[in-house]
Structure 1
Amino acid sequence: MKKIYLIEDDKKIADLLKDYLEKYEYDIQLVQEFDRIVEEFQVFEPHLILLDINLPSYDGFYWCRKIRSISNCPIIFISARDSGMDQVMAIENGGDDYITKPFNFDVVQAKIKGIMRRIYGEYASSTPIDLLEIRDLCLHLTAMEVSLNGHKAILTKNEFILLKAFMENVNHVLSRTFLLEMLWDDEHFVDDNTLSVNITRVRKKLEDIGVHQSIQTVRGAGYKMIDTWSEQ
C-alpha cells in the first residue's frame, strides 16, 4: 500500500481528502505538528507528499526545500494561491506538480496515480533513486558520499545538503539566502560565516576526489556549480 503524507492546515479539506484517497487504498497520514514536518516525514517514510503553501510558522516552499535536502520523494502542491509565480516557485523549490483550490477530487487522484506510476510503477526509471549522477560525478543520497572515477569522499550533513543543491542546479546561481535557509533548522541558527565555512569544506571534499574549481563565487549574487570534472 502506497503511503501519502498530507500537509494541510484546513482540517475539513484534510479530512475530505483523506477519506477520498483511502477509497483508492492509499495509506494517508495527516500532519500532526506543523513545526515538526521533517521529523514526521522521516518517521512515516511516505511515497508521496501533498503540501499546502499557507501553513503555520513556515510556508510550504520552506518545507519543500527542507524535505528536498534529504529526499527525492515526489511532492504535489495543493493551494488556493493560483498565480503563475506561485506555481513557478513551487517547481523551482522542488515540487513535482501544482493543483489549485478548489479542486476536483478525481483530478487529484489522477495526478497522484500518474506520479506513482512514473516513480514506482511501470514507467519508473531504472536509475537508482538513491543516486544523483552528473557525468560520472555521483552523489550517493543514502550513504552521503560523493564519488568520481573510483575516488570517494564522505560528507557531513551540511556538506551533503549544499552539494545536493548545487548538483540539482548545475550552472544556476544559488543565492546565499537560499543556501542559508537550506542549512537552518529549528535547533541550530546558521549565519553567513557558517555558510562560507561549509562551502569551503565542500570545495575541499570535491578537490579530494579530483574535482577542481567547480563551485564558483558569483560576486553579489551567490554561488554556482559548473562542470569542470568531465573536461579534465
Structure 2
Amino acid sequence: MFKLLLIEDDASLFHEIKDRLEQWSYDVYGIADFNQVLQEFTAIKPDLVIVDIQLPKFDGFHWCRLIRSHSNVPIIFLSSRDHPTDMVMSMQLGADDFIQKPFYFDVLVAKIQAILRRVYNYNTEPIELKTWCGATIDYEKNIVINQDSSIELTKNEIFILKQLIEQKNKIVSREELINSLWDDQRFVSDNTLTVNVNRLRKKLDELGLGNYIVTKVGQGYMAEEEDSFHD
C-alpha cells in the first residue's frame, strides 16, 4: 500500500480527499501541526506528497523547498489561485504536477497513479549506468557525474533525460515526452514540459552539459552527442 501525505488545512476538503483516496487502497496521512510539516514528513516517509499552496504560517512553496532539500519524493501541488506563475513556481521547485482547484477527483487519481507507476516501477529496475557526452548517468540514484562534479535530478528530470539520451541525436517530440511522463496530456499544460526541460538544462549547465539539450522549435527536443564522446 502506498503512503500519501496530504498537506491541506481545509478540514472538510482534507477528509473528502482522504476518504476517496482510501477507497483506492491508498494510506493517507495529514498534518497535525503546520509548524512541523518537515518533521512529520520525515516521520511518515510518504511515497507521494500532495500539498496545497495556501497554508497557515508558511505556504506550500516553503515546504516544497524544505522537502526537496531532503528527498526526491514525488510532489503534486493543489491551488485555488488562478495564477500561471503558481504552476511555473511549483515546477521550478521540483514538483511533479500541479492541479487547479476545483478539480475532478478522477483527474487527481489518474495523476497519482501515473506518477506512482512511473516512479516506483522505474526505481525497481536494476542499476543502470549510461555514458553521455563524457558524463555518467546513474538512473537509479538520479545523478549525473562529470569528472569531479555531480548533480541530482528529480524523477521527472531524469526521466526526460533518459528519453532524450535513448534517442540521442534524434528529435523527440513534445507530445511523446508529455505522454511518457504524464500518460494523459489532456490534463497537462504544455508549459509544464517547458519548465521541466528548462530546469533540467539549467542543472546540466553546472556540469557544462546544458548546451547538449537542444530545443527544436515547433518539433521537440534533442540530446546531442558529438562523435568524440561516442563509446
Report 1:130-209 matches (<5 A). 130-135=141-146, 137-138=149-150, 169-170=202-203
**One-letter amino acid of the counterpart of residue 7, structure 1:** I
Alpha-carbon RMSD across the aligned residues, in angstroms, is: 2.8
Distance 1:122 1:52, change over 3 A: same
Report 1:4-15 matches (<5 A). 4-15=4-15
Q: 1:56 is matched with which residue?
A: 56
Q: 2:159 is matched with which residue?
A: none
Cα deviation for residue 227 of structure 1 reads 3.1
Task: Please tell me whether the aligned partners of residues 52 and 77 of structure 1 are also in contact (alpha carbons under 8 angstroms).
Answer: yes
Distance 1:167 1:138, change over 3 A: farther
Q: Distance in 2 between matches of 1:26 and 1:48?
A: 10
Q: Distance in 1 between matches of 2:42 and 2:201?
A: 21
Task: Please tell me whether the aligned partners of residues 123 and 140 of structure 2 are also in contact (alpha carbons under 8 angstroms).
Answer: no
Q: 2:17 is matched with which residue?
A: 17
Q: Distance in 2 between matches of 1:140 and 1:129?
A: 11
Matched residue count: 152
SS at match of 1:77: strand
2:37 paired with 1:37: yes
**One-letter amino acid of the counterpart of residue 203, structure 2:** V
TM-score, normalization: structure 1? 0.59
Moved more, 121-130 or 82-91: 121-130
Q: 2:75 is matched with which residue?
A: 75
Q: 2:189 is matched with which residue?
A: none
**One-letter amino acid of the counterpart of residue 2, structure 1:** F
Q: Distance in 2 between matches of 1:11 and 1:100?
A: 18
SS at match of 2:14: helix
How much identity, in percent, do the aligned residues show?
41
Decide which structure has greater helix share.
2
Cα deviation for residue 12 of structure 1 reads 0.6
